[in-house]
Chain A
Amino acid sequence: MRRIVKYLIIVIIGFTVGFLIVHIINRYGEKKEAETRIQSLPCVSFNSISGIPVNLHEFDQTKPLIIIYFHPECEHCRYEAREIGQNAPAFHHFQLVMVAPDDSLQRVEKFCSETHLWELENLEILLDTENQFKKVFGNAVIPSVYIYATNRKLIKIFFGETKPQAIINATKNSLTSN
């Protein structure tokens, strides 16, 4: 009996360690791959509010692209969106794309109305209905901001709530570097 218990302990610990190592190696590999991939704007499509697939490369290539990943129920996203809405003129020269993992159209529309995002002409709201964002970008921190220059090279990532001035400063650097 004692011998069986010993073998059982070895098997359980060995299996757990093995499982964790394999998972860590795989996940780490995926993460590194995504880190390299997103250095240039990835070729990925999300659905527009009207349900039409929109590729991130379809936007005006003469403007830097700001991708904001958000959730309509997140308080930090709400604050960030409201701040962007209030500072709309400062974002006039950029293309803003807000991607929500939530497939509830009503909630997203309510969020945009409450934060006055509809008033921004250069803003596109997209829905990540098939959970592509995490697969492609490697992370799905809510909220997060990805800034791409006009040549569609990544210049800056912000994880967590970000003030408009920080986003503008990062894009200013991109304009001067171009």
Chain B
Amino acid sequence: MSNLFNNKFKLLLVLIALYFLLHFALIYLFDTVDIYIQTFQNQLSINRIEKLFKLSNKHQWLSYSFLPIIVFSRIIYSSLFLYIGVFFTELKIKFAQLFKIALIADFVYVLAGLAKLVVLIFFKQVNTLEDLQFQPLSIMELLNEKTVDPLFVYPLSLLNVFELAYFLVLAWLLVGIINEANKEHPVKYGKSLQLVTASYGSGLLLWVLVVMFITLNLN
């Protein structure tokens, strides 16, 4: 039990460390005063932009300190909805096991972050802060952002290859756990994918709706 906890803890540390590296790379390469000037020069004076940039730099530690909380919350959220799904199937699977597969599957998002960094470095001209806000291989990338209502930018960005890969990896990891818990009646990958779609899919739908709700009510 203690070994299992240690493994998970180490895995979580590695995951968070990778996110830190990606975040650091993005800030180091693209968080410059020039990008701020190009973004806001039509609306703000140069001295105000420089002040804004300094203020943003001063509070940069906040983004680093929130990163582990965000990652941990996301894993807990996925595990929770998987647990609800498992609860409906009468299978005997512990929350800790689901936490572990959600933790492993989260490495898919690291790949997504890496892909974004590669695109930004080699394939995309970054002039403004808006250029940094995109999700590679998503439906949103096929559309002209100016023609899409801001309310639909997040849901359309979420429809991407990496999100699909997350579903598939989660189902692949879950099938192993299900068959371990239910040795007499092993299930196939398709059944596990159905369970992931119904459980984690519901959680994702709920999350998207919450984000849309906040977007609309923010102003």
Interfacial residues, chain A to chain B (CB-CB below 8 A): 5-6, 9, 13, 16-17, 20-21, 23-24, 27-28, 31, 79, 83, 134, 139-141, 158, 160-163, 165-166
Contact = CB atoms under 8 A, between A and B. Distances in A.
Given A21-B209, A140-B219, A163-B48, 18 more contacts: A6-B87, A13-B202, A20-B206, A20-B209, A20-B210, A20-B213, A24-B209, A24-B212, A24-B216, A28-B151, A79-B48, A134-B219, A139-B219, A141-B219, A158-B43, A161-B43, A161-B44, A163-B43
In the complex, the 3 A-B pairs of residues with the closest C-beta atoms, listed nearest first: A20-B209, A27-B216, A139-B219
Nearest to A139: B219
A27 B202 contact: no
Nearest to A14: B202
Contacts of A21: 209
Interface size range on B against A: 10 to 19
B32 interface: no
A75 to B, nearest CB: 11
6 contacts: A6-B87, A9-B88, A16-B206, A20-B210, A20-B212, A161-B43
A21 B206 CA distance: 10
Contacts of A165: 45
Contacts of B219: 134, 139-141
Contacts of A23: 213, 216
Nearest to A134: B219
A17 B209 CA distance: 7
Contacts of A140: 219
A32 B206 CA distance: 24
Given A9-B84, A17-B205, A28-B151, A163 B216 contact: no
B212 A166 contact: no
A35 B105 CA distance: 42
B42 interface: yes
Contacts of A83: 45
B217 interface: yes
A83 B212 CA distance: 36
B206 A13 contact: yes
